[in-house]
Amino acid sequence: MNSIHKQSKIYIAGHRGMVGSAVWRALEADGYTNLIGKTSSELDLRNQDAVSEFIASEHPNVIIDAAARVGGILANSEFPYQFLMENLQIQNNLIDTAHKQNVEKFIFLGSSCIYPKLAPQPLKEDCLLTDSLEPTNEWYAIAKITGVKACEAIRKQYNKDFVSLMPTNLYGSFDNFDLNTSHVLPAMLRKFHEAKENGNTPVTLWGSGTPMREFLYVDDMAQAVVFAVNNKLPEHLYNVGTGTDVTIKELAETIQNVIGHQGDIIWDSEKPDGTPRKLMDVSKLKGAGWKYEIELLQGIKKTYAWFLEHHASLKQVKLSK
């Protein structure tokens, strides 16, 4: 039986990020009244002693790990050490402290990039570690695989409710729209918006446009986390997605139409495509009782509306080697 109730204390690591803030909103909407979060300036999750002291003082019933260093192909290729080490530090400190201090439930959030580059489609949970990773994001993927296996090991050895949710490509409110560090959908949205503002100038996009990608609106991901909080899931690893995908070219044309950009799209085939396809098999979580609600076109419209409201204050992220 699930022992969590509406007054249970829930700590959301990364509560200011796109995923963490969506999870916070979704839990509040579901009636949870005892949510806690700390900014990175208040609590450095890379610091083991600080994490241990914080969890010991707060005694949360649930920890949701939505904290990570994230970015697209460019950021991963330029900062491999930070993407590997900082993600290992963050998740290992949270997982180990949660175990040692007997936190009732731990929900670890990762990414579909944990699966092999050429794994059979759609990606099933049991294809993990069956082949080599996509080189353009292997550093982040290796860290996240370690987190999945750590939660599995704790579950196996100590029978604790530690579960991993692996979402497909996420987008939505509070996304990162920095052109140097963002993922494909928000980067496209910003590029088309700025090109429209500059007189419908051409938009140059990376690759050939032929790879296929699956996209999940972040509020749907948040509902999957709420589902995991409300239920004691029987297995350690679940994919979270829509089970449908589009080509990057189709994505670009959809975003272009939503924004109203009238210029040309130029595909720079000298730039890498990344993984040819990354479609998730979401039958396991669907069988447990969860399903997405927001279709891609609706989600892009929601995201663009949020962008228009906030883009003047969006900052360019600076990374240091």
Report how far apart, in Å, the C-alpha atoms of 91 and of each of 127, 298, 312 are. Answer: 22, 33, 33
Q: Is 115 exposed, middle or buried (0-12, 13-18, 19+ CB in 10 A)?
A: buried
Q: Please indicate whether residue 32 is annotated as part of the active site.
A: no
Would you say residue 194 lies in a domain?
no
Return the pLDDT at 226: 98
pLDDT at 217: 98
Closest CA to 168 of 291, 302, 293, 280: 280
Residue 282 counted as domain residue? yes
- pLDDT, residue 272, reads 82
Does a structural domain hold residue 311?
no
Please report, as a single letter, which amino acid is at residue 295.
Answer: E
| Bind-site residues for substrate | 191, 206, 213, 273
Q: Give the per-residue pLDDT at 314.
A: 67
Query: Looking at residue 77, what is its pLDDT?
Result: 79
Catalytic residue among 11, 32, 115, 140: 140
Q: Is residue 205 part of a domain?
A: no
Domains in the chain, number: 1
- Here the CATH number for the domain that contains residue 140 is 3.40.50.720
Tell me what pLDDT residue 104 has. 97
- What pLDDT score does 318 carry? 40
pLDDT at 234: 96
**Can you give the pLDDT at residue 321?**
36
pLDDT tens by residue, the chain, 321 residues: 678 999 999 999 999 999 999 999 999 999 999 999 999 999 999 999 999 999 999 999 999 999 998 766 777 778 899 999 999 999 999 999 999 999 999 999 999 989 998 899 999 999 999 999 988 889 999 999 999 999 999 999 999 999 999 999 999 999 989 887 778 999 999 999 999 999 999 999 999 999 999 999 999 999 999 999 999 999 999 999 999 999 999 999 999 999 999 999 999 998 888 778 889 999 999 999 999 999 999 999 999 999 999 987 765 444 333
pLDDT of residue 315: 53
Nearest one of 142, 95, 89 to 115, comparing CA atoms: 142
pLDDT tens string 273-307: 877 888 999 999 999 999 999 999 999 999 999 99
45 by DSSP, 3-state: which? coil
User: What is the residue range of 127's domain?
Assistant: 10-175+215-243+277-294
Residue 318 Cα distances to 76, 171, 180, 181, angstroms? 14, 21, 9, 9
188 within a domain of the structure (yes/no): no
- Cα–Cα nearest to 75, from 177, 181, 178: 181
- By the 8 A CB rule, do 141 and 113 touch? yes
- Domain presence at residue 21: yes
Cα Rg of the chain, angstroms: 19
Give residue 41's pLDDT: 94
Which residue numbers belong to the known binding site?
14-20, 109-112, 144, 167-170, 183, 191, 206, 213, 273
Q: b/e string for 133-170 if b means 16 or more Cβ within 10 A?
A: bbebbbbbbbbbbbbbebbbebbeeeebbbbbbbbbbb
- Rounded to whole angstroms, the Cα distance separating 80 from 82 reads 6
Residues annotated in the binding site for NADP(+), as ranges? 14-20, 109-112, 144, 167-170, 183
Residue 308 inside a domain? The answer is no
Query: Is 228 among the domain residues?
Result: yes
Residues 6+ apart with CB under 8 A from 230: 2, 4, 30
